């Protein structure tokens, strides 16, 4: 085995020393991290992810900062609201380191600093609000706390991305009182809606009755108008009939008056027979009177609907007139006898 000379030993030592120096000067930084470099205790540079070279035995790695977004749990704490209600609240904070050097050298204990700053501002924001606002405006609380904490932590080289309130828990007695209040409020709303429904129903009912009365009044008005019109037409017809009979009499037509008297005679008999208070009617009518009335009507029919023969002799006219007078006297006597024989109350 050949002997190692002093020169060879020195070369070997130099090679080993060079390898050690090379490994000491090469630094590998993983993705998502930044390393700070200190030279004799002073910050000089920041190493990015990948391979980096530093001066061995002079420079050293200072702080290894996580540059990814990080989550920090905010523990539960008691908060007193503006209306002196005590509630417990917890949350969660999200932040990201933007400047590794400032985060490493501007504050000591970065996580603890962020945690205390967040808890303090949660108490301040929630303490300036009433209990109802605290329970109903959680987004407003998150926004205000995030804005305040981000402004305060910007000098540390970090960015507060989100702060969320997870739970807000009032005391048990306060929760029970809130439940009773909510129940009373809902009962109040139900009562109001029920009253509004009854009111609307009464209004609709009154409007329906009003419309019904208006329609009834219009119907009665129309009926009265048509009845008056019918009466007017009937009066006109009677006037025309009377005028025609008068003209016929004035022209010497005695048969017309015989027809008129016979018609009125028969109508009087019909009214007498249909009276409500008449149960028994005594009618002492002479046969000659009835035959005379029928004969008068027959003569009129012959003149109107006959074959155009000569008029009957004028000797029949006195008979018809006599018959008409007898018919009138007989009808009057029958009415008087019927009234005398009918007792009070209309019963025989």
Domain-embedded: residue 159 = yes
State the pTM of this model.
Answer: 0.51
Angle at 336 between CA 331 and CA 337, to 5 degrees: 100
Is there a contact between 265 and 293 (Cβ–Cβ < 8 Å)? yes
CA dist 64 and 31 (Å) reads 12
Helix axis angle for 172-250 and 254-273, nearest 10°, is 140
User: Residue 295: how many CB atoms within 10 A of its CB?
Assistant: 17
Question: What domain range is 110 assigned to?
Answer: 70-170
User: Can you name the residues that pair with 91 across neighbouring β-strands?
Assistant: 74, 165
pLDDT tens sequence for the chain (348 residues): 456 677 777 788 888 888 888 888 889 999 999 999 999 989 999 999 999 989 888 889 999 999 999 999 999 999 999 988 889 999 999 999 999 999 999 999 999 999 999 999 999 999 999 988 998 899 999 999 999 999 999 999 999 999 999 999 888 887 788 788 888 988 999 999 999 999 999 999 999 999 999 999 999 888 998 889 888 888 888 888 778 777 777 776 666 666 666 777 677 766 666 666 655 555 545 444 555 555 555 565 566 555 444 444 443 333 433 444 444 444 444 444 444 444 443 433
Domain-embedded: residue 348 = no
Question: Domain containing 138 — which CATH number?
Answer: 3.30.479.30
DSSP string, 216-254: HHHHHHHHHHHHHHHHHHHHHHHHHHHHHHHHHHHTT-H
Examine the domain organization and report whether 153 and 203 are in the same domain.
no
Domain-embedded: residue 346 = no
Examine the domain organization and report whether 104 and 154 are in the same domain.
yes
Examine the domain organization and report whether 30 and 40 are in the same domain.
yes
Examine the domain organization and report whether 159 and 80 are in the same domain.
yes
Domain-embedded: residue 41 = yes
Domain count along the chain: 4
Examine the domain organization and report whether 327 and 263 are in the same domain.
yes
């Amino acid at each position: 085995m050949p002997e190692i000379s002093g020169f060879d030993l020195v070369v070997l030592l130099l090679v080993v020393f060079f390898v050690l120096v090379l490994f000491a000067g090469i630094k590998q930084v993983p993705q998502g991290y930044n390393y700070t470099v200190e030279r004799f205790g002073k910050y000089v540079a920041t190493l990015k992810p990948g391979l980096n070279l530093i001066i061995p035995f002079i420079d050293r790695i200072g702080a290894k900062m996580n540059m990814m977004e990080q989550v920090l749990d905010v523990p539960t704490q008691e908060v007193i609201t503006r209306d002196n209600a005590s509630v417990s609240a917890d949350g969660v904070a999200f932040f990201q380191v933007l400047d590794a050097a400032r985060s490493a050298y501007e504050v000591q204990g970065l996580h603890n600093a962020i945690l205390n700053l967040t808890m303090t501002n949660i108490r301040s924001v929630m303490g300036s609000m009433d209990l109802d606002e605290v329970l109903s405006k959680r987004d407003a609380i998150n926004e205000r706390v995030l804005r305040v904490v981000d402004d305060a932590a910007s000098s540390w080289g970090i960015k507060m991305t989100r702060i969320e309130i997870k739970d807000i828990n009032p005391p048990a007695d306060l929760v029970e009182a809130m439940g009773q209040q909510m129940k009373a409020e809902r009962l109040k709303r139900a009562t109001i809606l029920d009253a509004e429904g009854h009111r609307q129903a009464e209004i609709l009912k009154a409007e329906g009755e009003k419309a019904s009365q208006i329609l009834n009044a219009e119907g009665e008005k129309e009926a009265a108008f048509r009845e008056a019109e019918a009466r007017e037409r009937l009066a006109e017809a009677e006037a025309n009939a009377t005028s025609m009979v008068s003209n016929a009499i004035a022209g010497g037509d005695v048969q017309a008056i015989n027809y008129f008297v016979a018609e009125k005679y028969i109508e009087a008999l019909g009214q007498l027979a249909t009276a409500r208070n008449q149960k028994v009617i005594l009618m002492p009518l002479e046969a000659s009177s009835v035959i005379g009335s029928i004969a008068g009507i027959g003569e009129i029919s012959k003149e109107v609907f006959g074959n155009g023969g000569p008029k009957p002799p004028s000797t029949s006219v006195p008979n018809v007139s006599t018959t008409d007078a007898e018919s009138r006297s007989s009808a009057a006597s029958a009415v008087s006898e019927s009234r005398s024989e009918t007792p009070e109350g209309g019963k025989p």
